[in-house]
């Protein structure tokens, strides 16, 4: 288990400040707040190993958090009917972003700004990546931020191949992750469930004749306000 580079920098800065304060004041009491900041930052940005389920058609959770919505909506990126699963990130992390499925990064969207391989998305903005599987399924992973100070770092590069459950970036506190899967995809979670990145199965892709059956038995729900 390791922490992200950014977390290590912040933690090291806090510890250096603690040492400097102690050297000047000689008061150990003033060291505690800096040490606490370092500990919290490292804990939130921990990067635990996860055992990915042996299920090629499964869409695993891209982040640790709580499911807030599961239902059918209109995909804002591909203009199609799709299954939507929305997750609120855990307050204390870990804040690792993982790929929900194996496939190639076909396209990326950056709002309000974009163009860099390492996306920097400001508060209220969105970053999304389209992953195409070998079977032709198109899955969109969207991350939205709430505060300008907390930005997303994404490692995905267009044309790159990602593995199921592979680390592909780091989130920031109070981010929200939304998954848009092809119509007919079967949800495996319900609103209120706690999920783990790379381990929990959110939904299963459906191929062939089973798709029609899945659509016939699916329950359409209204999309929440974004």
pLDDT in tens, 41-95: 777 777 778 888 889 899 999 999 999 999 999 999 999 999 999 999 887 778 8
Give φ, ψ of 182 to 5 degrees: -55, 150
Decide if 157 is inside a domain.
yes
Among 13, 28, 47, give the residue marking a domain's end. Answer: 47
| Residues 79 and 175 grouped into a single domain | yes
pLDDT tens track for 145-170: 765 334 566 778 899 999 999 988 88
- Residue that the structure tokens 């391989």 belong to: 117
Q: How many helices (H) and strands (E) does the chain have?
A: 3, 16
The answer, yes or no, to whether residue 173 has pLDDT greater than 90, is no
Q: Across the strands, what pairs with 139?
A: 131
Q: Across the strands, what pairs with 108?
A: 129
pLDDT band at 123 (very low <50, low <70, confident <90, very high): very low
Of residues 96, 167, 158, 171, the one with CA closest to residue 131: 158
What is the value of pTM for the model shown? 0.74
CATH number at residue 166: 2.70.70.10
Decide if 225 is inside a domain.
no
* Residue 226 CA neighbour count, 13 Å, CB half: 18
Give φ, ψ of 7 to 5 degrees: -65, -40
| DSSP code, position 30 | G
Quote the domain boundaries for residue 22.
Answer: 2-47
Distance CA 44, CA 170 (A): 11
| Residues 168 and 90 grouped into a single domain | yes
The answer, yes or no, to whether residue 118 has pLDDT greater than 50, is no
| Residues 88 and 168 grouped into a single domain | yes
Decide if 13 is inside a domain.
yes
Number of domain units in the chain: 2
């Amino acid at each position: 288990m390791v922490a992200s580079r950014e977390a290590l920098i912040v933690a090291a800065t806090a510890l250096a400040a603690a040492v400097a304060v102690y050297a000047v004041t000689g008061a150990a009491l003033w060291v505690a707040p800096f040490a606490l900041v370092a500990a919290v930052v490292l804990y939130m940005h921990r990067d635990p190993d996860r055992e990915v389920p042996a299920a090629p058609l499964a869409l695993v959770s891209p982040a640790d958090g709580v499911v807030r919505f599961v239902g059918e909506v209109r995909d804002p990126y591909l203009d199609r009917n799709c299954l939507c699963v929305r997750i609120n990130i855990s307050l204390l992390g870990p804040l690792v972003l993982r790929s929900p499925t194996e496939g190639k990064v076909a396209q990326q969207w950056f709002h309000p700004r974009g163009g860099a391989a390492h996306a920097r998305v400001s508060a209220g903005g969105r970053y999304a990546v389209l992953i195409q599987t070998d079977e032709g399924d198109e899955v969109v992973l969207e991350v939205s931020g709430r505060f300008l100070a907390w930005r997303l770092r994404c490692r995905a590069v267009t044309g790159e191949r990602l593995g199921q459950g592979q680390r592909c970036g780091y989130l920031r506190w109070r981010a929200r992750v939304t998954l848009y899967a092809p119509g007919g995809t079967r949800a495996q979670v319900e609103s209120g469930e706690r999920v783990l990145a790379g381990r929990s199965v959110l939904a299963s892709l459906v191929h062939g004749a089973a798709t029609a059956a899945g659509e016939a038995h699916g329950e359409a729900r209204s999309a929440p306000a974004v």
